[in-house]
Structure 1
Amino acid sequence: MRRIGGRDIVAAILIALVAGAIFTSPPLQTLQGLSLDILTAMRGKLVGDHRDPATSPVVVVAIDGETYDTPPFKGSPTQTWTREIGRVLGSITEGGAKVIGFDVIFPSSIEQSEIPFGDASFGSRLKGFDRDYLIALRQLSDGGKLVLGEILSNDHPDVPYPAQRLAVKNNVRALNVHTDTDDVIRRMPLSFAIDGKPVPAMAVELAARALGTTPGNGPSGAMQLPGYTIPSAVPNTLTLNYRGMGRDVPAYSFADLRACVEKGDRDFFRRAFDGKVVLLGTVLNFEDRKLTSMRLSGGYDGSPAPRCALPAPAGTAQKARSDIAGVFVHATVVRNLIERDAVTELGFPARTVLTIAFAAIIACAACMLAPGGAVIAWLALTAVYAAVAVGAFVHALALPLTEPALASLAALAMMIGYRFMLADRDERFLRKSFAFYLAPEVINTMVASGKMPALGGEMRNVTMFFSDLSGFSSIAETMTPGELVTLMNEYLSAMTDIIESHGGYVDKYIGDSIVAMFGAPADDPAHARNAVHAALKCHEKLAELNASNPAFAGHGLSHRIGLNSGEAVVGNIGSRRRFNYTVMSDTVNVASRLEGANKYYGTAIMASETTMAQTGDTFAWRELDAIRVLGRGEAIQVFEPLADKGAESAEQTKVATAYAEGLACWRAREFAKAAEAFDGVAKIDPASALFAKRAKALAANPPSPEWTPVNTLEGK
């Protein structure tokens, strides 16, 4: 994780402010509506929130396709339906309906037709056709049970014809809707100014009459019903809450209700309409369709209500649609008002603050994490926030969703760009400059600290690795400089790759020698085991290079490796102007001596007792000797790793067994027996040959009683 500096924090804040201001600005106001659409869809899919249509306080009487296809309406102009509408409305009122609202407008009467018909106009021959209908309107209006609808417009108003207005004594309310810039209805007007006075919209009027009250305005100017201040993020509007996705409002076919009147089933009207608000409107596939906040998930034209007299038409299964009949928009407003369930949206200041805060969090994450990790963090935090937003929307609170998501994504992109162009420029320079000199772990530490390297060190338990090519000077004399460079590059590259793949850090190259350590700079509890593994692999790799690499052909290179584990000072060591990340201690010196000690025993790898002990039972070992290296008084037990435990060859097992027997006799001063044991494998094991020769010499000339089985090496 990247360390954040003061400059980065300022950049993150500025980026969040810019992104938040852009995505909550008026030109992108459609994002607020899109949030409502997404929340409605997610709530519908994840929560469901289905409600029993029977509990709905509002129902719809639908002039639907069935009505147009059913006698006596089939083939008849709608202007001729008025008398039947009056009869059905009368039965609905007798059934106990609280109030009826018209979402259909009859702007003219068939009695007004001036088309010639014989000696007179067609209209004059039908005088009195609407009389019963107008009487029904008057009776319902006088009882406060009826409200007609109209469309207010300066250019093309759509209003009931004058006789209807007179019959209902101007009990007419506006059906106008509030359409966002993307032609989607998410909010509905609450009132309209008529002759300089606010007049409630149709849905508000119906809800108020159902509740037996009159709408008013609170101290803040927001419209109120008794005990309920209607939330209005956009002034004088209500935000629609489609909990049931339209299926929570029952829809009765007008054709079935007309047949029910003919049947005389008053009980059906009582069961269906008692205590309900009734909306009369058209529900057709081609007329008065509205896009709402259900457009992403799909909404329904109500839920088919129980039938009274006619069988349900075949093939009328409901399907979700992006648009719904306009009458259900008004029905939703009525239900929201009566149940006090309109959506509460955050105001512009709160939306902006929330968007900026979310963008700032993502910007900080993008500052600390790598680009891939920052994208994952954005996805995770956005998913969590979306879950919180859906949970809030279940309780009718709409948190902004698209604005924070898009603003934070923009902040993520800007912060990654900022890091690439400015903040990480020094880091890239540092990595590029030191990549060929320092271990990646050291560079990472430098970058994370935000500091350039400085003098200093710490005590660490490490395993030191020293290797050197045997007799390389004489081989180098026979090669051209170009051949020598090619050979060394191949050898050092191969060995370094193995060392680093096992967690080691190459401290330095000294000619053909390699100095490496395990356990630093990256902490590694298994540093001894990894160092032995690396040594075995390096030995195998050199054999492969000798056999297959043209640069090694004919040279038969061999190397010696010394391993020792212990405490050492690790860090930046040198002068104030020039230093290296390296290691210093007696542990280092002993590893160097063990590398050289291999030539006395004819071995390729020699490790100290401390290294062997720290590897556990991972490897098969043989104890070589107890030696005293140059410059150190204390004896050291040394071992040779043969292979992974259980992977040693039959020859290695034979040699190790004979060697152990001979070494035991040697230490017991039984030199003749020791020589015999060593002689058995001396032809295939240089170390056994060395001990056989020494044992024979001591058998011929026994040492003094003060003799100890420790081999003091005179050279490096």
Structure 2
Amino acid sequence: MKQFLSRFGWRWLIGLSLTIVASLQVLGYLPETATDLIDQADQTIYDTRMRLGPPEFDSRIAIVSIDERSLAEVGRWPWSREVVARMVDRLFDKYKIKALGFDVTFSEPDNTSGYATLTSLAQNELRDVPQLDERLRSLKSALDYDARLARALRGRPVVLGYYLSPNLKKGMLPPPVFTKADLNDYEVDALLAAGYEGNLPELQKAAISGGYFNADFDADGLLRSTPLIMRVGDGYYESLALATARVALGATRVEPVMFQATSINSEEFVRGYGMLEAVKLNTEPHGTLIPVEQFLKARIQYRSPGGAQGGAYRYFSAADILKGKVKPEELEGRIVLVGTTAPGLNDMRATPVKADYPGVEVHANLISSILDNNFKQRPDFVIGFNFIQVLLIGLLLTLALSALSPLWSILVSAMTALAAIGFNSWMYQANNYVLPVATTLLLILGLFIFNVAWGYLFEYRKGRAIVNLFGEYVAPELVAEMAKDPQSYSMEGELRELTILFSDVRGFTTISEGLEPNALREYVNLYLTAMSEDIRGNRGTLDKYIGDAVMAFWGAPISLPNHASLAVKTALQMQDTARRLNEDFVARGWPPLKIGIGLNTGEVRVGDMGSAVRRAYTVMGDPVNLASRLEGITKTYGAGIVVGQATRDAAPEFLYRELDLVRVKGKNEPVPIFEPLGLAEAIDPAARADLERWHDALRMMRSQQWDAAQNAIEKLALAAPLDGLYPLYLERIAYYREHPPGEDWNAVTVFDTK
């Protein structure tokens, strides 16, 4: 216990300290500078996720753009109200749009017709001119452009935009959506404006509604969210996006929805919390609930990088609308927003997806979210969730990393970070929750760096001593195992059940005779490197190279309960690797590569063995010899891999083809041998059926039903002409017909050579 505490105590203490610091940051007890940096990191993650999202085109909304071409053809902005009135008439009469929102304000009277000047003259200098006053009254409907626009707006679903200002009071506000009295005097946190720049009263009264288009930027100057409702005096007013969506949906009211507390003092809780949970539109058949965050804000879900080319929305030039060049079906039944996109009109916003994003498209994105009832939001439980997340991950990693090797520390840290990111992304996509993750990721990174540094500074010398002492003759796998706990490791031999693998290149003598020395060296190096990587990649211990042969085993020095399964998996992988190497070798003009692999499982002696001159960590025993013999007879059966009965029994998740019952040199008892075909679940039904037919044929042959066995094998050979097993057994059947084996025949094939 003392040794344990001396090894882990300080690491746990420092890891716990890092976790506590991260937890204090989540709870807001660290300096604002640190909190601001963490918040900025979370915002960067949020922005990146939005930028990487695919564009989502919304055909329900169209934007009529007062662009540079419109200014060139119609004239400088602001245009005459008569021009705007004609555009409104055109949009509703010809294009049959559903609703219209103006991202502009009509706060000044339009005197471009000269009507006001003529009226002033008629009342002063020209008051004595007969019938002038009467004539002016008859021309009013044609020359009073504000009245002309009011007539175009009246009775149509049009929402006029306006601006809330700190002190200016100009024009007229629409009615508030609700008042302080409607909230039962609850104090609701909302952004407050003292003044406004509204539309002319006759225009605002003619329109069905109005909405402000104020933008509320974050500290870094980017527009990520905007208030859906702001307060002026005792009234609460809706934004342009909310008003336009409400009108398009046919709703007539915006109702506040307070947080529903379940405690005994729920009323005091709601009063103290000072926030609405949502606002509700009285749409049919069910109301539309729109969640809001603090200060009645909603996050803007940008659907595309934006721009006049229309990434998520179709843009139409206002000049084309006025001339009727747009096809009616392109706008019919759609919500239309009119806004300025010409650079000189200064309606561009800095957003997470683009530095110069059209302001009118910001409103379009919000309307899309309202129509879809799909808002990303920072939930009210975010602090509690983040605290638990940081505390849990910090404690688990503190315990785990102190006991893991550097490689496993990297893997566990990376997996933990990926899990945190994955869960965060799932909550974002599936539940629309925007949750913080930066503190967690920084804690994971901090704990990882600390533990790696600790291991390097305090344990490096111990491990290095083991490497220097044993690294030249002990397998690297054993060195890594010993370096973890050098005080308690022993290299003494022990009996243990292992799975042993032998692999050999077929026809290597011919290959070596046909290649130049340098080419042969590269040939062998590429082959041995690839095979070794497969073995090491599946936790095998590479024992030795014997010329072109490879010997490996599983289950020592690290105990592996599934050592047989890992060995079979490795053998199949080595055959796949050999096929890929063969394609490369043939392309180089080298001899083709084909290997045979033998596997056997059994109890062997494993440990430090050798002489006073050279020692190695290796295995010895009868199962080792059998594995070598099985590799040698692979070519007889045309099989790439041959395994013994014990291996087959220990790795039942694979599907095997029985090859024969053999007695190899040095063994008195016959052993069944098998060829693994792959994971049982991955073998298709047709291959399973062929395997059953083969096993039936093998049983018929062993019962000396030569005709039936031959007929079955010939059918199998016809379907798989390259399979070397079927010709072998057809030859045997032919032989046994001429030389009957007798009734006491045990169907054993004897191999007298290695």
Under a length normalisation based on structure 1, what TM-score does the superposition of the two structures give? Answer: 0.51
Asked if residue 15 in structure 1 is aligned to residue 3 in structure 2, the reply is no
Asked if residue 326 in structure 1 is aligned to residue 359 in structure 2, the reply is yes
Query: Matched residues in 2 for 1:128 and 1:67: separation?
Result: 28
Residue 67 (structure 1) shift: 0.3
Aligned to 1:367: 402
SS in structure 1 at match of 2:291: coil
Instruction: Name stretches of at least 5 consecutive residues in structure 2 with no aligned partner.
Output: 29-34, 126-135, 169-194, 260-275, 282-286, 498-540, 545-553, 561-602, 630-754
Aligned to 1:108: 108
Aligned to 1:145: 157
Residue 258 (structure 1) shift: 0.5
Summarize the Cα distance change of 1:447–1:234 in structure 2 as closer, same or farther, 3 Å threshold: farther
Aligned to 2:290: 230
Counterpart contact for 1:150–1:158, Cα < 8 Å: yes
Query: Matched residues in 2 for 1:184 and 1:410: separation?
Result: 29
Letter in 1 for 2:277: A
Aligned to 1:279: 337
**Counterparts of 1:13-162 in structure 2 under 5 Å?**
13-19=16-22, 21-22=24-25, 26-28=35-37, 29-44=39-54, 50-51=56-57, 53-54=58-59, 56=60, 58-70=61-73, 73=74, 76-94=75-93, 95-111=95-111, 132-139=144-151, 142-143=154-155, 145-154=157-166, 159-160=197-198, 162=200
Q: Tell me how large the CA RMSD over aligned residues is.
A: 5.2
**Which deviations, in whole Å up to 9, do the C-alpha atoms of 1:287-322 show, x marking residues without a partner?**
211122323xxxxxxxxxxxxxxxxxxxxxxxxxx4
Summarize the Cα distance change of 1:89–1:400 in structure 2 as closer, same or farther, 3 Å threshold: same
Summarize the Cα distance change of 1:38–1:456 in structure 2 as closer, same or farther, 3 Å threshold: closer
Aligned to 2:373: 340
Aligned to 1:676: none
SS in structure 2 at match of 1:89: helix
**Which deviations, in whole Å up to 9, do the C-alpha atoms of 1:595-617 show, x marking residues without a partner?**
9xxxxxxxx99xxxx99997789
Letter in 2 for 1:186: R
Residue 237 (structure 1) shift: 1.0
Residue 187 (structure 1) shift: 0.9
Counterpart contact for 1:284–1:325, Cα < 8 Å: no
Counterpart contact for 1:217–1:223, Cα < 8 Å: yes
Residue 60 (structure 1) shift: 1.5
Asked if residue 259 in structure 1 is aligned to residue 323 in structure 2, the reply is yes
Counterpart contact for 2:162–2:196, Cα < 8 Å: yes
Letter in 1 for 2:347: D
Letter in 1 for 2:359: G
Residue 190 (structure 1) shift: 1.1
Asked if residue 411 in structure 1 is aligned to residue 447 in structure 2, the reply is yes
Query: Matched residues in 2 for 1:326 and 1:455: separation?
Result: 73
Aligned to 1:658: none
Query: Matched residues in 2 for 1:613 and 1:188: separation?
Result: 74
Identity %: 16
Asked if residue 291 in structure 1 is aligned to residue 301 in structure 2, the reply is no
Query: Matched residues in 1 for 2:85 and 2:455: separation?
Result: 73
Residue 417 (structure 1) shift: 4.0
**Which deviations, in whole Å up to 9, do the C-alpha atoms of 1:41-95 show, x marking residues without a partner?**
2222xxx5x43x43x2x3221111120122xx1xx33234321111111222334
Larger Rg: 1
Residue 394 (structure 1) shift: 4.1
**Which deviations, in whole Å up to 9, do the C-alpha atoms of 1:182-237 show, x marking residues without a partner?**
11111111101111222222211121222222221213122323444323344411
SS in structure 2 at match of 1:39: helix
Summarize the Cα distance change of 1:30–1:153 in structure 2 as closer, same or farther, 3 Å threshold: farther
Aligned to 1:671: none
**Counterparts of 1:671-710 in structure 2 under 5 Å?**
none
Residue 370 (structure 1) shift: 4.2
Query: Matched residues in 2 for 1:394 and 1:523: separation?
Result: 42
Residue 254 (structure 1) shift: 0.6
Asked if residue 191 in structure 1 is aligned to residue 229 in structure 2, the reply is yes
Query: Which residue, out of 303, 308, 311, partners 1:243?
Result: 303
Query: Matched residues in 1 for 2:118 and 2:90: separation?
Result: 37
Summarize the Cα distance change of 1:433–1:69 in structure 2 as closer, same or farther, 3 Å threshold: same
Summarize the Cα distance change of 1:39–1:403 in structure 2 as closer, same or farther, 3 Å threshold: farther
Letter in 1 for 2:42: Q
Residue 381 (structure 1) shift: 4.9
Letter in 2 for 1:67: S
Summarize the Cα distance change of 1:272–1:358 in structure 2 as closer, same or farther, 3 Å threshold: farther
**Counterparts of 1:377-392 in structure 2 under 5 Å?**
377-379=412-414, 381-383=416-418, 386=421, 389-390=424-425, 392=427
Letter in 2 for 1:225: K
Counterpart contact for 2:26–2:386, Cα < 8 Å: no
Counterpart contact for 2:63–2:313, Cα < 8 Å: yes
Residue 276 (structure 1) shift: 3.0
**Which deviations, in whole Å up to 9, do the C-alpha atoms of 1:515-558 show, x marking residues without a partner?**
xxxx9995899xxxxxxxxxxxxxxxxxxxxxxxxxxxxxxxxx
SS in structure 2 at match of 1:179: coil
Query: Matched residues in 2 for 1:98 and 1:23: separation?
Result: 47
Instruction: Name stretches of at least 5 consecutive residues in structure 1 with no aligned partner.
Output: 296-321, 463-500, 505-518, 526-565, 571-582, 596-603, 620-716
**Counterparts of 1:366-515 in structure 2 under 5 Å?**
366-371=401-406, 374-375=409-410, 377-379=412-414, 381-383=416-418, 386=421, 389-390=424-425, 392-395=427-430, 396-400=432-436, 402-419=438-455, 425=458, 427-428=459-460, 430-431=462-463, 448=484, 452-453=487-488, 459-460=494-495
Summarize the Cα distance change of 1:417–1:461 in structure 2 as closer, same or farther, 3 Å threshold: closer
Give aligned pairs, total.
445
Letter in 2 for 1:37: D
Query: Which residue, out of 375, 379, 385, partners 1:350?
Result: 385
Residue 361 (structure 1) shift: 5.7
Summarize the Cα distance change of 1:379–1:349 in structure 2 as closer, same or farther, 3 Å threshold: same
Counterpart contact for 2:405–2:484, Cα < 8 Å: no
Query: Matched residues in 2 for 1:617 and 1:416: separation?
Result: 41
Aligned to 1:534: none
Summarize the Cα distance change of 1:178–1:523 in structure 2 as closer, same or farther, 3 Å threshold: closer
Summarize the Cα distance change of 1:98–1:454 in structure 2 as closer, same or farther, 3 Å threshold: closer
Summarize the Cα distance change of 1:196–1:93 in structure 2 as closer, same or farther, 3 Å threshold: same
